[in-house]
Structure 1
Protein backbone atom coordinates (compact mmCIF):
# COMPACT_ATOMS: atom_id res chain seq x y z
CA UNK A 1 0.00 0.00 0.00
CA UNK A 2 1.57 3.26 -1.15
CA UNK A 3 1.30 6.55 0.69
CA UNK A 4 -0.79 9.20 -1.04
CA UNK A 5 0.91 12.47 -1.90
CA UNK A 6 -0.71 15.65 -0.58
CA UNK A 7 -3.03 17.46 -3.00
CA UNK A 8 -1.45 19.92 -5.38
CA UNK A 9 -0.86 23.34 -3.82
CA UNK A 10 -0.67 21.94 -0.29
CA UNK A 11 2.43 21.12 1.66
CA UNK A 12 2.84 18.26 4.04
CA UNK A 13 2.60 19.32 7.68
CA UNK A 14 6.00 20.00 9.15
CA UNK A 15 7.17 17.61 11.78
CA UNK A 16 8.50 18.66 15.15
CA UNK A 17 11.63 20.78 14.96
CA UNK A 18 14.76 18.72 15.62
CA UNK A 19 16.24 19.29 19.01
CA UNK A 20 19.47 21.23 19.03
CA UNK A 21 22.19 19.04 20.41
CA UNK A 22 25.54 19.99 21.66
CA UNK A 23 24.63 23.53 22.74
CA UNK A 24 25.82 22.89 26.25
CA UNK A 25 29.08 21.45 24.86
CA UNK A 26 29.79 24.70 23.01
CA UNK A 27 29.04 26.67 26.17
CA UNK A 28 31.43 24.51 28.19
CA UNK A 29 34.17 24.93 25.56
CA UNK A 30 33.69 28.71 25.55
CA UNK A 31 33.65 29.01 29.32
CA UNK A 32 37.44 28.79 29.95
CA UNK A 33 38.14 31.45 27.34
CA UNK A 34 35.44 33.74 28.71
CA UNK A 35 36.73 33.30 32.25
CA UNK A 36 40.26 34.03 31.08
CA UNK A 37 39.16 37.25 29.35
CA UNK A 38 37.12 38.32 32.35
CA UNK A 39 39.93 37.65 34.80
CA UNK A 40 42.90 38.98 32.85
CA UNK A 41 41.32 41.69 30.69
CA UNK A 42 37.97 42.90 31.96
CA UNK A 43 38.86 43.06 35.67
CA UNK A 44 42.21 44.87 35.11
CA UNK A 45 40.56 47.24 32.64
CA UNK A 46 37.80 48.17 35.08
CA UNK A 47 40.38 48.63 37.84
CA UNK A 48 42.48 50.84 35.56
CA UNK A 49 39.44 52.89 34.58
CA UNK A 50 38.45 53.46 38.19
CA UNK A 51 42.02 54.37 39.12
CA UNK A 52 42.14 56.96 36.32
CA UNK A 53 39.52 59.00 38.19
CA UNK A 54 41.34 58.73 41.52
CA UNK A 55 42.56 61.64 43.63
CA UNK A 56 46.15 61.78 44.89
CA UNK A 57 46.54 61.85 48.66
CA UNK A 58 48.82 64.82 49.48
CA UNK A 59 49.58 63.46 52.94
CA UNK A 60 51.25 60.26 51.73
CA UNK A 61 53.58 59.80 48.77
CA UNK A 62 52.17 57.48 46.08
CA UNK A 63 48.78 57.08 47.74
CA UNK A 64 45.41 58.01 46.28
CA UNK A 65 41.76 57.50 47.05
CA UNK A 66 38.97 56.67 44.65
CA UNK A 67 36.87 59.54 43.41
CA UNK A 68 35.55 60.99 40.17
CA UNK A 69 38.16 63.50 39.07
CA UNK A 70 37.93 64.25 35.36
CA UNK A 71 40.77 66.72 35.79
CA UNK A 72 43.24 63.83 35.54
CA UNK A 73 42.44 63.48 31.84
CA UNK A 74 42.62 67.23 31.23
CA UNK A 75 45.98 67.43 32.99
CA UNK A 76 47.64 64.58 31.10
CA UNK A 77 46.35 65.76 27.71
CA UNK A 78 47.55 69.29 28.38
CA UNK A 79 50.96 68.21 29.63
CA UNK A 80 51.77 65.17 27.48
CA UNK A 81 50.19 65.80 24.07
CA UNK A 82 53.67 66.11 22.44
CA UNK A 83 54.53 62.61 23.65
CA UNK A 84 51.23 61.31 22.24
CA UNK A 85 51.93 62.85 18.83
CA UNK A 86 55.52 61.60 18.86
CA UNK A 87 54.42 58.08 19.77
CA UNK A 88 51.98 57.83 16.87
CA UNK A 89 54.42 59.47 14.47
CA UNK A 90 57.21 57.04 15.38
CA UNK A 91 54.78 54.11 15.21
CA UNK A 92 53.54 55.22 11.80
CA UNK A 93 57.07 55.57 10.43
CA UNK A 94 58.06 52.17 11.82
CA UNK A 95 54.95 50.59 10.30
CA UNK A 96 55.63 52.08 6.87
CA UNK A 97 59.29 51.04 6.92
CA UNK A 98 58.40 47.54 8.16
CA UNK A 99 55.89 47.23 5.30
CA UNK A 100 58.43 48.38 2.72
CA UNK A 101 60.98 45.88 4.04
CA UNK A 102 58.65 43.02 4.93
CA UNK A 103 56.55 42.93 1.75
CA UNK A 104 59.41 42.00 -0.62
CA UNK A 105 60.58 39.37 1.84
CA UNK A 106 57.09 37.88 2.14
CA UNK A 107 56.57 38.05 -1.64
CA UNK A 108 59.82 36.25 -2.32
CA UNK A 109 59.07 33.49 0.20
CA UNK A 110 55.35 33.13 -0.52
CA UNK A 111 55.36 33.48 -4.32
CA UNK A 112 58.78 33.14 -5.86
CA UNK A 113 60.10 30.12 -3.94
CA UNK A 114 56.75 28.57 -3.00
CA UNK A 115 57.54 25.25 -4.70
CA UNK A 116 61.07 25.02 -3.27
CA UNK A 117 60.00 23.79 0.14
CA UNK A 118 63.41 23.53 1.79
CA UNK A 119 64.47 27.06 0.82
CA UNK A 120 61.02 28.38 1.74
CA UNK A 121 61.14 26.82 5.19
CA UNK A 122 64.71 28.01 5.77
CA UNK A 123 63.76 31.60 4.93
CA UNK A 124 60.75 31.42 7.26
CA UNK A 125 63.02 30.25 10.07
CA UNK A 126 65.33 33.18 9.39
CA UNK A 127 62.37 35.58 9.59
CA UNK A 128 61.33 34.35 13.02
CA UNK A 129 64.90 33.77 14.26
CA UNK A 130 65.00 37.12 16.15
CA UNK A 131 62.22 35.78 18.40
CA UNK A 132 64.72 33.26 19.76
CA UNK A 133 66.50 36.13 21.52
CA UNK A 134 65.00 38.41 24.15
CA UNK A 135 63.48 41.68 22.92
CA UNK A 136 65.60 43.58 25.45
CA UNK A 137 68.82 41.87 24.41
CA UNK A 138 68.22 42.60 20.73
CA UNK A 139 67.58 46.28 21.45
CA UNK A 140 70.59 46.48 23.76
CA UNK A 141 72.77 44.94 21.04
CA UNK A 142 71.69 47.65 18.60
CA UNK A 143 72.54 50.27 21.20
CA UNK A 144 76.10 48.96 21.22
CA UNK A 145 76.25 48.84 17.42
CA UNK A 146 74.89 52.38 16.99
CA UNK A 147 76.79 53.92 19.93
CA UNK A 148 79.44 56.59 19.43
CA UNK A 149 82.15 53.95 19.82
CA UNK A 150 80.37 51.47 17.54
CA UNK A 151 81.25 50.50 13.98
CA UNK A 152 78.39 52.39 12.32
CA UNK A 153 79.27 55.82 13.71
CA UNK A 154 82.96 55.17 13.12
CA UNK A 155 82.37 54.29 9.47
CA UNK A 156 80.11 57.30 8.86
CA UNK A 157 82.61 59.64 10.47
CA UNK A 158 85.42 58.11 8.39
CA UNK A 159 83.63 58.84 5.11
CA UNK A 160 82.58 62.30 6.29
CA UNK A 161 78.82 61.79 6.67
CA UNK A 162 78.94 62.47 10.42
CA UNK A 163 80.90 64.95 12.47
CA UNK A 164 82.79 64.24 15.71
CA UNK A 165 79.93 65.62 17.79
CA UNK A 166 77.11 63.80 15.95
CA UNK A 167 75.27 60.84 17.46
CA UNK A 168 72.84 58.16 16.34
CA UNK A 169 71.62 56.86 19.69
CA UNK A 170 69.36 59.26 21.51
CA UNK A 171 67.78 60.44 18.27
CA UNK A 172 64.44 59.81 16.63
CA UNK A 173 66.20 57.91 13.86
CA UNK A 174 67.55 55.36 16.34
CA UNK A 175 64.14 54.89 17.98
CA UNK A 176 62.33 54.40 14.65
CA UNK A 177 65.10 52.07 13.52
CA UNK A 178 64.72 49.98 16.67
CA UNK A 179 60.93 49.84 16.35
CA UNK A 180 61.17 48.83 12.70
CA UNK A 181 63.74 46.14 13.35
CA UNK A 182 61.90 44.61 16.29
CA UNK A 183 58.51 44.50 14.56
CA UNK A 184 59.49 43.38 11.04
CA UNK A 185 58.53 39.73 11.79
CA UNK A 186 55.08 40.88 12.92
CA UNK A 187 54.65 42.49 9.50
CA UNK A 188 56.26 39.79 7.38
CA UNK A 189 54.40 36.74 8.67
CA UNK A 190 50.81 37.97 7.98
CA UNK A 191 51.94 39.16 4.55
CA UNK A 192 53.46 35.76 3.85
CA UNK A 193 50.23 34.04 4.88
CA UNK A 194 48.21 36.08 2.37
CA UNK A 195 50.73 35.78 -0.45
CA UNK A 196 51.22 32.07 0.11
CA UNK A 197 47.50 31.52 -0.59
CA UNK A 198 47.62 33.67 -3.71
CA UNK A 199 46.75 31.83 -6.93
CA UNK A 200 49.76 32.34 -9.19
CA UNK A 201 47.55 31.80 -12.23
CA UNK A 202 46.03 35.23 -11.55
CA UNK A 203 49.47 36.81 -11.82
CA UNK A 204 50.13 34.90 -15.03
CA UNK A 205 46.76 36.06 -16.36
CA UNK A 206 47.84 39.67 -15.85
CA UNK A 207 50.84 39.05 -18.09
CA UNK A 208 48.67 37.29 -20.67
CA UNK A 209 46.49 40.41 -20.80
CA UNK A 210 49.55 42.52 -21.64
CA UNK A 211 49.91 44.08 -18.21
CA UNK A 212 53.44 44.94 -17.18
CA UNK A 213 54.97 43.70 -13.93
CA UNK A 214 54.19 46.96 -12.10
CA UNK A 215 50.58 47.02 -13.34
CA UNK A 216 50.09 43.37 -12.43
CA UNK A 217 51.44 44.00 -8.95
CA UNK A 218 49.26 47.02 -8.19
CA UNK A 219 46.15 45.66 -9.90
CA UNK A 220 46.33 41.98 -8.93
CA UNK A 221 48.93 41.03 -6.33
CA UNK A 222 48.65 43.91 -3.88
CA UNK A 223 44.82 44.02 -3.72
CA UNK A 224 44.67 40.27 -3.11
CA UNK A 225 47.24 40.56 -0.31
CA UNK A 226 45.42 43.47 1.36
CA UNK A 227 44.15 41.36 4.33
CA UNK A 228 47.76 40.51 5.13
CA UNK A 229 48.77 44.16 4.80
CA UNK A 230 46.04 45.23 7.20
CA UNK A 231 46.88 42.48 9.71
CA UNK A 232 50.59 43.22 9.53
CA UNK A 233 50.18 46.97 9.95
CA UNK A 234 47.93 46.46 12.96
CA UNK A 235 50.32 44.00 14.57
CA UNK A 236 53.12 46.53 14.06
CA UNK A 237 51.44 49.87 14.75
CA UNK A 238 49.56 48.95 17.94
CA UNK A 239 52.52 47.66 20.00
CA UNK A 240 54.89 50.24 18.48
CA UNK A 241 52.67 53.12 19.62
CA UNK A 242 52.82 51.90 23.22
CA UNK A 243 56.45 50.80 23.21
CA UNK A 244 58.73 52.26 25.86
CA UNK A 245 61.87 50.14 25.50
CA UNK A 246 63.33 51.51 22.27
CA UNK A 247 62.67 55.15 23.26
CA UNK A 248 64.14 54.68 26.74
CA UNK A 249 67.37 56.53 27.50
CA UNK A 250 68.76 53.21 28.69
CA UNK A 251 68.46 51.84 25.15
CA UNK A 252 68.12 53.80 21.88
CA UNK A 253 66.29 56.94 23.00
CA UNK A 254 67.09 60.19 24.70
CA UNK A 255 65.37 63.14 26.40
CA UNK A 256 63.95 64.38 23.10
CA UNK A 257 62.53 61.02 22.01
CA UNK A 258 60.25 60.24 24.95
CA UNK A 259 57.13 58.34 23.92
CA UNK A 260 53.91 58.03 25.86
CA UNK A 261 54.90 54.53 27.00
CA UNK A 262 57.91 56.03 28.77
CA UNK A 263 55.67 58.54 30.54
CA UNK A 264 53.29 55.79 31.69
CA UNK A 265 56.18 53.66 32.91
CA UNK A 266 57.59 56.64 34.82
CA UNK A 267 54.22 57.48 36.38
CA UNK A 268 53.73 53.91 37.56
CA UNK A 269 57.24 53.09 38.76
CA UNK A 270 59.24 56.29 39.39
CA UNK A 271 57.17 59.37 40.19
CA UNK A 272 54.28 57.13 41.35
CA UNK A 273 51.18 58.96 40.20
CA UNK A 274 48.75 56.11 39.63
CA UNK A 275 45.69 58.17 38.59
CA UNK A 276 47.60 60.00 35.88
CA UNK A 277 49.31 56.82 34.72
CA UNK A 278 45.94 55.09 34.47
CA UNK A 279 44.43 58.08 32.62
CA UNK A 280 47.29 58.01 30.11
CA UNK A 281 46.80 54.28 29.59
CA UNK A 282 43.05 54.65 28.99
CA UNK A 283 43.63 57.54 26.57
CA UNK A 284 46.26 55.58 24.65
CA UNK A 285 43.94 52.60 24.41
CA UNK A 286 41.01 54.74 23.25
CA UNK A 287 42.99 56.62 20.61
CA UNK A 288 44.48 53.40 19.22
CA UNK A 289 41.01 51.84 19.08
CA UNK A 290 39.62 54.81 17.13
CA UNK A 291 42.57 54.96 14.74
CA UNK A 292 42.47 51.21 14.11
CA UNK A 293 38.69 51.21 13.53
CA UNK A 294 38.94 54.05 11.01
CA UNK A 295 41.86 52.38 9.27
CA UNK A 296 40.10 49.05 8.93
CA UNK A 297 36.93 50.63 7.58
CA UNK A 298 38.94 52.72 5.17
CA UNK A 299 40.79 49.62 3.97
CA UNK A 300 37.48 47.84 3.42
CA UNK A 301 38.25 44.92 5.71
CA UNK A 302 35.65 45.39 8.44
CA UNK A 303 35.54 41.62 8.93
CA UNK A 304 38.86 41.92 10.79
CA UNK A 305 37.18 43.88 13.60
Structure 2
Protein backbone atom coordinates (compact mmCIF):
# COMPACT_ATOMS: atom_id res chain seq x y z
CA UNK A 1 0.00 0.00 0.00
CA UNK A 2 2.84 2.36 0.90
CA UNK A 3 4.62 1.46 -2.35
CA UNK A 4 1.42 2.26 -4.27
CA UNK A 5 1.26 5.68 -2.63
CA UNK A 6 4.87 6.38 -3.55
CA UNK A 7 4.16 5.43 -7.15
CA UNK A 8 1.09 7.67 -7.20
CA UNK A 9 3.10 10.52 -5.70
CA UNK A 10 5.75 10.06 -8.35
CA UNK A 11 3.09 10.11 -11.06
CA UNK A 12 1.65 13.28 -9.54
CA UNK A 13 5.00 15.09 -9.66
CA UNK A 14 5.65 13.81 -13.18
CA UNK A 15 2.34 15.24 -14.37
CA UNK A 16 2.93 18.51 -12.48
CA UNK A 17 6.41 19.14 -13.89
CA UNK A 18 5.41 20.34 -17.37
CA UNK A 19 2.65 22.79 -16.34
CA UNK A 20 4.75 24.03 -13.41
CA UNK A 21 7.70 24.66 -15.73
CA UNK A 22 5.43 26.50 -18.17
CA UNK A 23 3.93 28.59 -15.37
CA UNK A 24 7.29 29.57 -13.92
CA UNK A 25 9.09 30.28 -17.21
CA UNK A 26 6.29 32.02 -19.10
CA UNK A 27 4.37 33.68 -16.25
CA UNK A 28 6.29 34.19 -13.00
CA UNK A 29 9.64 35.04 -14.58
CA UNK A 30 8.24 37.68 -16.99
CA UNK A 31 6.05 39.04 -14.21
CA UNK A 32 9.09 39.26 -11.93
CA UNK A 33 11.06 41.11 -14.61
CA UNK A 34 8.27 43.67 -15.01
CA UNK A 35 8.14 44.00 -11.20
CA UNK A 36 11.88 44.76 -11.15
CA UNK A 37 11.33 47.34 -13.92
CA UNK A 38 8.96 49.19 -11.59
CA UNK A 39 11.98 49.91 -9.34
CA UNK A 40 14.21 50.97 -12.22
CA UNK A 41 15.06 54.03 -14.26
CA UNK A 42 15.44 54.77 -17.93
CA UNK A 43 19.03 55.28 -19.07
CA UNK A 44 18.98 56.34 -22.69
CA UNK A 45 16.30 55.21 -25.12
CA UNK A 46 16.29 51.46 -24.47
CA UNK A 47 18.41 50.85 -21.35
CA UNK A 48 16.61 50.24 -18.06
CA UNK A 49 18.69 50.10 -14.89
CA UNK A 50 17.41 48.56 -11.66
CA UNK A 51 18.16 51.13 -8.96
CA UNK A 52 15.68 50.14 -6.27
CA UNK A 53 13.99 53.52 -6.51
CA UNK A 54 10.41 54.13 -5.37
CA UNK A 55 10.11 57.24 -7.51
CA UNK A 56 7.89 55.53 -10.08
CA UNK A 57 5.32 54.69 -7.41
CA UNK A 58 5.65 58.14 -5.84
CA UNK A 59 5.01 59.68 -9.26
CA UNK A 60 1.65 57.90 -9.44
CA UNK A 61 0.45 59.56 -6.23
CA UNK A 62 1.81 62.99 -7.14
CA UNK A 63 -1.25 65.25 -6.93
CA UNK A 64 0.15 67.55 -9.60
CA UNK A 65 -0.05 64.68 -12.12
CA UNK A 66 -3.27 63.24 -13.61
CA UNK A 67 -2.52 59.59 -12.81
CA UNK A 68 -4.24 59.46 -9.43
CA UNK A 69 -7.36 61.05 -10.95
CA UNK A 70 -7.32 58.44 -13.72
CA UNK A 71 -7.03 55.70 -11.09
CA UNK A 72 -10.01 57.11 -9.19
CA UNK A 73 -12.02 57.38 -12.41
CA UNK A 74 -11.09 53.81 -13.34
CA UNK A 75 -12.20 52.61 -9.89
CA UNK A 76 -15.48 54.49 -10.29
CA UNK A 77 -16.18 53.05 -13.75
CA UNK A 78 -15.27 49.53 -12.58
CA UNK A 79 -17.54 49.96 -9.54
CA UNK A 80 -20.44 51.11 -11.72
CA UNK A 81 -19.85 48.19 -14.06
CA UNK A 82 -19.83 45.71 -11.19
CA UNK A 83 -22.99 47.22 -9.68
CA UNK A 84 -24.93 47.02 -12.95
CA UNK A 85 -23.67 43.49 -13.58
CA UNK A 86 -24.89 42.47 -10.12
CA UNK A 87 -28.30 44.11 -10.58
CA UNK A 88 -28.75 42.52 -14.01
CA UNK A 89 -27.01 39.23 -13.30
CA UNK A 90 -28.74 38.23 -10.06
CA UNK A 91 -32.25 37.90 -11.58
CA UNK A 92 -30.80 36.02 -14.56
CA UNK A 93 -28.91 33.59 -12.29
CA UNK A 94 -32.04 33.14 -10.18
CA UNK A 95 -34.15 32.44 -13.27
CA UNK A 96 -31.65 29.84 -14.51
CA UNK A 97 -31.61 28.20 -11.05
CA UNK A 98 -35.39 27.66 -11.03
CA UNK A 99 -35.69 26.87 -14.75
CA UNK A 100 -36.62 23.32 -15.89
CA UNK A 101 -33.60 21.06 -16.41
CA UNK A 102 -33.83 21.12 -20.22
CA UNK A 103 -34.22 24.90 -20.36
CA UNK A 104 -31.41 25.36 -17.80
CA UNK A 105 -28.85 23.84 -20.16
CA UNK A 106 -29.88 26.14 -23.00
CA UNK A 107 -29.90 29.21 -20.76
CA UNK A 108 -26.39 28.45 -19.53
CA UNK A 109 -25.32 27.99 -23.14
CA UNK A 110 -26.68 31.45 -23.97
CA UNK A 111 -24.75 32.96 -21.05
CA UNK A 112 -21.49 31.33 -22.16
CA UNK A 113 -22.05 31.96 -25.88
CA UNK A 114 -20.27 35.37 -25.89
CA UNK A 115 -17.05 33.64 -24.82
CA UNK A 116 -17.06 31.89 -28.21
CA UNK A 117 -16.69 35.24 -29.97
CA UNK A 118 -13.58 37.40 -29.88
CA UNK A 119 -13.79 40.48 -27.65
CA UNK A 120 -12.83 42.71 -30.56
CA UNK A 121 -15.73 41.40 -32.65
CA UNK A 122 -18.16 41.91 -29.77
CA UNK A 123 -16.93 45.47 -29.31
CA UNK A 124 -17.37 46.22 -33.01
CA UNK A 125 -20.89 44.80 -32.79
CA UNK A 126 -21.66 47.18 -29.94
CA UNK A 127 -20.21 50.07 -31.93
CA UNK A 128 -22.70 49.26 -34.68
CA UNK A 129 -25.46 50.07 -32.18
CA UNK A 130 -23.90 53.14 -30.57
CA UNK A 131 -22.36 55.11 -33.42
CA UNK A 132 -24.10 58.16 -34.91
CA UNK A 133 -25.42 56.15 -37.89
CA UNK A 134 -25.97 53.04 -35.78
CA UNK A 135 -29.09 51.04 -35.08
CA UNK A 136 -30.12 53.04 -32.01
CA UNK A 137 -29.92 56.42 -33.73
CA UNK A 138 -31.51 55.01 -36.89
CA UNK A 139 -34.49 53.75 -34.88
CA UNK A 140 -34.64 57.01 -32.97
CA UNK A 141 -34.61 58.93 -36.26
CA UNK A 142 -37.56 56.94 -37.61
CA UNK A 143 -39.58 57.47 -34.41
CA UNK A 144 -38.67 61.17 -34.38
CA UNK A 145 -39.83 61.63 -37.98
CA UNK A 146 -43.14 59.92 -37.20
CA UNK A 147 -43.70 62.07 -34.12
CA UNK A 148 -42.64 65.19 -36.00
CA UNK A 149 -45.12 64.44 -38.77
CA UNK A 150 -47.92 64.08 -36.22
CA UNK A 151 -46.85 67.35 -34.56
CA UNK A 152 -46.83 69.17 -37.88
CA UNK A 153 -43.08 69.72 -37.93
CA UNK A 154 -42.97 71.60 -34.63
CA UNK A 155 -40.36 69.27 -33.10
CA UNK A 156 -37.60 70.82 -35.18
CA UNK A 157 -34.62 69.10 -36.78
CA UNK A 158 -33.50 65.63 -35.78
CA UNK A 159 -30.32 65.57 -33.69
CA UNK A 160 -28.70 62.15 -33.21
CA UNK A 161 -27.76 61.05 -29.71
CA UNK A 162 -24.06 61.22 -28.92
CA UNK A 163 -23.52 57.73 -27.55
CA UNK A 164 -20.01 56.93 -28.76
CA UNK A 165 -16.86 58.35 -27.12
CA UNK A 166 -18.59 58.83 -23.77
CA UNK A 167 -18.35 57.36 -20.28
CA UNK A 168 -21.82 55.90 -20.86
CA UNK A 169 -20.50 53.88 -23.81
CA UNK A 170 -17.56 52.63 -21.76
CA UNK A 171 -19.75 51.46 -18.86
CA UNK A 172 -22.25 49.88 -21.26
CA UNK A 173 -19.46 48.08 -23.09
CA UNK A 174 -17.89 46.81 -19.86
CA UNK A 175 -21.26 45.54 -18.61
CA UNK A 176 -21.82 43.87 -21.98
CA UNK A 177 -18.44 42.14 -21.75
CA UNK A 178 -18.35 41.23 -18.04
CA UNK A 179 -21.96 40.26 -17.32
CA UNK A 180 -21.32 36.49 -17.79
CA UNK A 181 -18.55 36.69 -15.16
CA UNK A 182 -21.21 37.78 -12.66
CA UNK A 183 -23.95 35.37 -13.71
CA UNK A 184 -21.94 32.15 -13.57
CA UNK A 185 -20.66 32.41 -9.93
CA UNK A 186 -24.10 33.54 -8.79
CA UNK A 187 -25.76 30.59 -10.53
CA UNK A 188 -23.19 28.18 -9.10
CA UNK A 189 -24.04 29.33 -5.55
CA UNK A 190 -27.80 29.65 -6.00
CA UNK A 191 -28.08 26.21 -7.57
CA UNK A 192 -26.65 24.62 -4.39
CA UNK A 193 -28.85 26.46 -1.89
CA UNK A 194 -31.27 24.56 0.35
CA UNK A 195 -34.68 25.16 -1.25
CA UNK A 196 -36.50 23.82 1.80
CA UNK A 197 -35.62 27.10 3.53
CA UNK A 198 -37.50 28.98 0.81
CA UNK A 199 -40.54 26.76 1.29
CA UNK A 200 -40.36 27.23 5.06
CA UNK A 201 -40.17 31.00 4.68
CA UNK A 202 -43.19 31.09 2.38
CA UNK A 203 -45.16 28.67 4.62
CA UNK A 204 -44.51 30.91 7.64
CA UNK A 205 -46.13 33.85 5.87
CA UNK A 206 -43.18 35.71 4.37
CA UNK A 207 -43.76 37.15 0.91
CA UNK A 208 -41.62 36.45 -2.13
CA UNK A 209 -39.77 39.76 -1.86
CA UNK A 210 -39.08 39.25 1.84
CA UNK A 211 -37.89 35.68 1.16
CA UNK A 212 -35.63 36.93 -1.61
CA UNK A 213 -33.83 39.51 0.54
CA UNK A 214 -33.85 37.63 3.86
CA UNK A 215 -33.17 34.07 2.67
CA UNK A 216 -31.89 33.94 -0.92
CA UNK A 217 -29.49 36.89 -0.86
CA UNK A 218 -27.69 35.84 2.39
CA UNK A 219 -27.31 32.28 1.08
CA UNK A 220 -25.87 33.66 -2.16
CA UNK A 221 -23.29 35.73 -0.27
CA UNK A 222 -20.29 33.67 -1.41
CA UNK A 223 -21.42 33.85 -5.03
CA UNK A 224 -22.00 37.59 -4.78
CA UNK A 225 -18.51 38.19 -3.38
CA UNK A 226 -16.93 35.95 -6.03
CA UNK A 227 -18.93 37.58 -8.81
CA UNK A 228 -18.00 41.07 -7.63
CA UNK A 229 -14.32 40.17 -7.50
CA UNK A 230 -14.29 38.37 -10.87
CA UNK A 231 -16.15 41.26 -12.51
CA UNK A 232 -14.43 44.20 -10.82
CA UNK A 233 -10.83 43.17 -11.51
CA UNK A 234 -11.16 42.70 -15.31
CA UNK A 235 -13.28 45.85 -15.55
CA UNK A 236 -10.63 47.87 -13.70
CA UNK A 237 -7.87 46.64 -15.99
CA UNK A 238 -9.88 46.83 -19.21
CA UNK A 239 -8.05 48.33 -22.19
CA UNK A 240 -9.90 47.52 -25.41
CA UNK A 241 -13.39 48.67 -24.41
CA UNK A 242 -12.48 52.21 -23.23
CA UNK A 243 -10.02 52.54 -26.12
CA UNK A 244 -12.68 51.79 -28.76
CA UNK A 245 -15.84 53.14 -27.13
CA UNK A 246 -14.50 56.00 -25.02
CA UNK A 247 -13.20 59.43 -25.90
CA UNK A 248 -10.21 61.35 -24.54
CA UNK A 249 -12.03 61.89 -21.23
CA UNK A 250 -13.00 58.22 -20.91
CA UNK A 251 -9.56 56.62 -20.84
CA UNK A 252 -8.85 54.22 -17.99
CA UNK A 253 -5.63 53.23 -16.29
CA UNK A 254 -4.90 50.38 -18.73
CA UNK A 255 -4.85 52.89 -21.59
CA UNK A 256 -2.30 54.99 -19.67
CA UNK A 257 -0.17 51.88 -19.09
CA UNK A 258 -0.25 51.12 -22.83
CA UNK A 259 0.83 54.66 -23.65
CA UNK A 260 3.74 54.48 -21.19
CA UNK A 261 5.06 51.25 -22.71
CA UNK A 262 4.46 51.99 -26.40
CA UNK A 263 4.46 55.77 -26.87
CA UNK A 264 6.32 57.36 -23.98
CA UNK A 265 8.82 54.44 -23.83
CA UNK A 266 8.81 54.79 -20.03
CA UNK A 267 8.78 51.14 -19.08
CA UNK A 268 9.62 51.61 -15.37
CA UNK A 269 6.68 53.93 -14.81
CA UNK A 270 4.38 51.72 -16.90
CA UNK A 271 5.49 48.72 -14.82
CA UNK A 272 4.70 50.61 -11.59
CA UNK A 273 1.23 51.46 -12.89
CA UNK A 274 0.71 47.82 -13.87
CA UNK A 275 1.71 46.52 -10.47
CA UNK A 276 -0.62 48.89 -8.69
CA UNK A 277 -3.37 46.86 -10.38
CA UNK A 278 -1.65 43.62 -9.33
CA UNK A 279 -1.43 44.79 -5.71
CA UNK A 280 -5.12 45.74 -5.78
CA UNK A 281 -5.93 42.28 -7.13
CA UNK A 282 -4.06 40.66 -4.25
CA UNK A 283 -5.91 42.86 -1.78
CA UNK A 284 -9.26 41.91 -3.34
CA UNK A 285 -8.43 38.19 -3.19
CA UNK A 286 -7.34 38.55 0.45
CA UNK A 287 -10.60 40.32 1.33
CA UNK A 288 -12.56 37.57 -0.39
CA UNK A 289 -10.65 34.93 1.57
CA UNK A 290 -11.33 36.71 4.87
CA UNK A 291 -15.05 37.02 4.08
CA UNK A 292 -15.30 33.34 3.12
CA UNK A 293 -13.44 32.31 6.27
CA UNK A 294 -15.72 34.48 8.37
CA UNK A 295 -18.79 33.03 6.65
CA UNK A 296 -17.50 29.48 7.15
CA UNK A 297 -16.87 30.17 10.84
CA UNK A 298 -20.37 31.57 11.25
CA UNK A 299 -21.88 28.50 9.53
CA UNK A 300 -19.91 26.17 11.80
User: What range is the shorter-chain TM-score in?
Assistant: 0.7 to 0.9
Instruction: Quote the residue 2:32 is aligned against.
Output: 46
Structure 1: unaligned runs, 5 residues or longer: 1-17
Residues 204, 26 of structure 1: alpha-carbon distance in 2 compared, 3 angstrom cutoff: same
Q: Distance in 2 between matches of 1:31 and 1:123?
A: 38
Structure 2: unaligned runs, 5 residues or longer: 148-154
Question: Following TM superposition, by how much is the alpha carbon of 1:31 offset from its aligned partner in structure 2, in angstroms?
Answer: 3.6
Alignment of 1:54-73 (within 5 A): 54-58=40-44, 61-73=45-57
Instruction: Quote the residue 1:285 is aligned against.
Output: 278
- Work out whether residues 268 and 277 of structure 1, in 8 Å CA contact, stay in contact via their aligned partners in 2: yes
TM-score normalised by the chain length of structure 1: 0.82
Q: Distance in 2 between matches of 1:63 and 1:200?
A: 62
Q: Distance in 2 between matches of 1:179 and 1:293?
A: 24
Q: Distance in 2 between matches of 1:54 and 1:103?
A: 45
Aligned length: 278
Tell me, yes or no, if structure 1 residue 128 matches structure 2 residue 115: no
TM-score normalised by the chain length of structure 2: 0.84
Residues 94, 300 of structure 1: alpha-carbon distance in 2 compared, 3 angstrom cutoff: farther
Q: Distance in 2 between matches of 1:163 and 1:176?
A: 26
Instruction: Quote the residue 2:85 is aligned against.
Output: 98
Residues 141, 229 of structure 1: alpha-carbon distance in 2 compared, 3 angstrom cutoff: same
Instruction: Quote the residue 1:117 is aligned against.
Output: 101
Instruction: Quote the residue 1:212 is aligned against.
Output: 207
Q: Distance in 1 between matches of 2:117 and 2:26?
A: 26
Tell which deviates more after alignment, 252-261 or 200-209. 200-209
Residues 88, 181 of structure 1: alpha-carbon distance in 2 compared, 3 angstrom cutoff: same
Q: Distance in 2 between matches of 1:231 and 1:301?
A: 15
Q: Give runs of ≥4 in structure 1 deviating > 6 Å.
A: none
- Work out whether residues 56 and 62 of structure 1, in 8 Å CA contact, stay in contact via their aligned partners in 2: yes
- Work out whether residues 39 and 53 of structure 2, in 8 Å CA contact, stay in contact via their aligned partners in 1: yes
Instruction: Quote the residue 1:173 is aligned against.
Output: 168
Task: Determine which of 60, 72, 75 is the counterpart of 1:85.
Answer: 72
Tell me, yes or no, if structure 1 residue 266 matches structure 2 residue 266: no
Q: Distance in 2 between matches of 1:181 and 1:231?
A: 18
Alignment of 1:130-279 (within 5 A): 130-156=114-140, 158=144, 164=159, 166-248=161-243, 251-279=244-272
Tell which deviates more after alignment, 98-107 or 30-39. 30-39
Pairwise CA RMSD: 2.5
The secondary structure found in structure 2 opposite 1:198 is coil
Q: Distance in 1 between matches of 2:248 and 2:158?
A: 21
The secondary structure found in structure 1 opposite 2:238 is coil
Instruction: Quote the residue 1:6 is aligned against.
Output: none
Question: Following TM superposition, by how much is the alpha carbon of 1:94 offset from its aligned partner in structure 2, in angstroms?
Answer: 0.6
Larger radius of gyration: 1
C-alpha distance after superposition, 1:33-71 (max 9, x if no partner): 43333223321221011111221124xx34323322221
Residues 281, 68 of structure 1: alpha-carbon distance in 2 compared, 3 angstrom cutoff: same
Q: Distance in 2 between matches of 1:226 and 1:196?
A: 13
Question: Following TM superposition, by how much is the alpha carbon of 1:221 offset from its aligned partner in structure 2, in angstroms?
Answer: 1.2
